[in-house]
Amino acid sequence: MALQTKVTRRSGPRLFFQTVIGRAYPRIIGTQRDLAWLFFDIFLPFLSMVAYVYIYRALKAPEEYIGFVVLGSAMTAYWLNILWAMSSQLYWEKETGNLALYIISPTSMMAILFGMASGGLFATTVRALVILVIGNWLFHVSYTVVSFWALFLVFVLTMAALYGLGMMLSSLFLLFNREAWHTANLLQAPVMLFSGFYFPVRVFGFWAAAAASIIPLTLGMDAIRQLVFPSGPLLGFLSVKVELIVLSILSVAFLFGAFYTLRLMERLAIRLGRITDRLG
């Protein structure tokens, strides 16, 4: 008598959340298996932070600018994670042969990328906290938090918009094919400059700062500075309330854009049977 097994098919929200957990798990556990990557992800941004700190001290800048540098170095980890572990992710999955399995699976690409983002956010937060703690201890940075709830809301909205942007770029980078690597390299330094990682973004002037605000980190970091440094409101680009509203709009826009571009990519892949830089 043949042994019969009952196969349970998941669907709907349950399948979505199981996919998120399944794709977040390797990102969280993987950081513990190769500690060399953890060392370089912390050590290299730390070297950049030290260089900027001594530049500001040589110029006799106000001590709060040292705090700007430490905070910016911690947030750098999130932008690098977006570029290399989110935006370029589908391109690398295609190169390793996993992308076809993702597309034909019964779950959605949004759930797969959301799981990757969740796992990456956890691992990146650990690295950012280590950089923040070491920088605060080494350079004696002090903070004056105006509102913990506003600070938490700014961080959540910034991460939602930032990872939504990363999910949207992942499908666009895939269409670039081999140019994904070069595009990621191209975006790395300009975004770090115009997002004001190490200085207040208002020095660019209103219109340049407004254009740079399309990157969620620009307004997110500006709002965080206003909430944790006494001189933050004087150096801020917009008020925290306005920046929260804009971050909410960016979160919805980028998440919707990610959903649309991923669905478009799936339909083109199924219809044409291939994914290249000439889908149209």
Give, in order, the Cα–Cα distances in Å from 253 to each of 142, 258, 259.
Answer: 35, 9, 10
Q: What is the pLDDT of residue 63?
A: 83
- What are the mean pLDDT values of the chain's consecutive 10-residue runs (280 residues total)? 50 78 79 67 77 88 86 83 74 76 79 81 82 87 86 91 84 69 73 83 88 89 89 84 93 89 75 56
Q: What is the pLDDT of residue 152?
A: 92
Cα–Cα distance for residue pair 230/64, rounded to 1 Å: 9
Q: What is the pLDDT of residue 25?
A: 82
Q: pTM to 2 decimals?
A: 0.81
Tokens of 31: 């950081």
Q: What is the pLDDT of residue 250?
A: 93
Q: Residue 176 class from Cβ within 10 Å (0-12 exposed, 13-18 middle, 19+ buried)?
A: middle
Give, in order, the Cα–Cα distances in Å from 53 to each of 158, 160, 218.
Answer: 25, 29, 20
Burial 126-158 (b: 16+ CB within 10 A, else e): ebbebbbebbbeebebeeeeeeeebbebbbebb
Q: What is the pLDDT of residue 26?
A: 79
Query: Cβ atoms within 10 A of the Cβ of 259, count?
Result: 16
